[in-house]
Amino acid sequence: MKFRACCGPAPAASPIAASAGALAIAVATSAPQRTRRAAAGTQGDAGDDDTRYAVLTVGHSTRPIEAFVDLLRGHDVTRLIDVRTVPRSRHNPQFATDALAASMQSAGIGYAHVAGLGGFRRPLADSPNAGWRNLSFRGYADYMQTPAFRAELDHLIELAAHARLALMCAEAVPWRCHRSLIADALLARGVASAEIASATRLQRHRLTRFARIDGDRVTYPADAAAAIEPTSGA
């Protein structure tokens, strides 16, 4: 499968980047219980209330910061987890790390930049994820097999038990962003997630069609992708 992704070759590590340590601190400072929204509030794509989703995902796109805060508040988000590798934006400076952290603090929402869940991963020569034609997604899928990623995911799931999380990247739509692969990895662990579509609506994440789950690991083999590719000819 071939999509344009939000990922590319990895840059040098940012001095402000955090990894599992940021999530560990967030766990320690989170309230014991998440806020739960009643079914009369926000709705999932099947009409279910959003309390069924342990983790939410969102792309900041070009939104004004006030609109973005309203989006998070609409779903009772208490922690924003920034999974951008490069947490700054020349065209949208309101989403640069320092500015975003200050805005979240003013809104009463916790913030952590977790570079260990960021994109910009190079694919392996013998990648088991050749179902992705896009090398950025293939590289991220390869990274998902590593102990480093699994440790980050463990911390994320631990935090989700104590806070209402939203994973944030830049792309407006999830299928063009590596956060959709993180959502696949969560689903393999039995953790449901949904994309914030608006302040009142969620879009449930569904496993990538050519993904294969073995235990709690996800791969995207070439034969699985080929099996769902449209055929040419009469």
Are the C-beta atoms of 156 and 126 separated by less than 8 Å? no
Separation in Å, CA 52 to CA 13, 48, 74, 82: 35, 8, 16, 22
Pairwise CA distance, residues 159 & 34, whole Å: 10
Q: Is residue 47 part of a domain?
A: no
Q: Is residue 81 part of a domain?
A: yes
Q: Which domain holds residue 63?
A: 56-219
Q: Is residue 39 part of a domain?
A: no
Q: Is residue 182 part of a domain?
A: yes
Q: Per the structure block, which two tokens stand in for 61? A: 């796109």
Q: Is residue 29 part of a domain?
A: no
Query: What pLDDT shows up at residue 36?
Result: 38
Pairwise CA distance, residues 93 & 80, whole Å: 17
CATH number at residue 200: 3.90.190
Query: What pLDDT shows up at residue 22?
Result: 55
Name 220's Cβ contacts closer than 8 Å, sequence gap at least 6. Answer: 1, 129, 130, 131, 132, 137, 138, 141, 208, 210, 211, 212
Query: What pLDDT shows up at residue 129?
Result: 98
Pairwise CA distance, residues 165 & 178, whole Å: 17
Total of domains in the chain: 1
Query: What pLDDT shows up at residue 7?
Result: 56
Separation in Å, CA 141 to CA 39, 95, 154, 171: 35, 26, 17, 18
Q: Per the structure block, which two tokens stand in for 3? A: 């999509």
Q: Is residue 27 part of a domain?
A: no
pTM of the model: 0.81
Rg (CA), the chain: 17
Cα 234 to chain centroid distance, Å, stands at: 40
Pairing assessment for the beta strands 212-214 and 217-219 based on DSSP bridges: antiparallel
Pairwise CA distance, residues 177 & 94, whole Å: 20
Q: Is residue 170 part of a domain?
A: yes
Are the C-beta atoms of 157 and 174 separated by less than 8 Å? no
Chunk the chain into consecutive blocks of 10 residues (it has 234) and report each block's average pLDDT, rounded to whole numbers: 48 40 48 37 49 91 97 97 91 95 98 96 97 96 98 97 96 95 98 96 96 97 85 38
Query: What pLDDT shows up at residue 49?
Result: 56
Q: What is the DSSP string of 181-222?
A: HHHHHHHHTT--EEEEEETTEEEE----TT-EEETTEEE--H
Q: Per the structure block, which two tokens stand in for 102? A: 């200050």
Q: Is residue 98 part of a domain?
A: yes
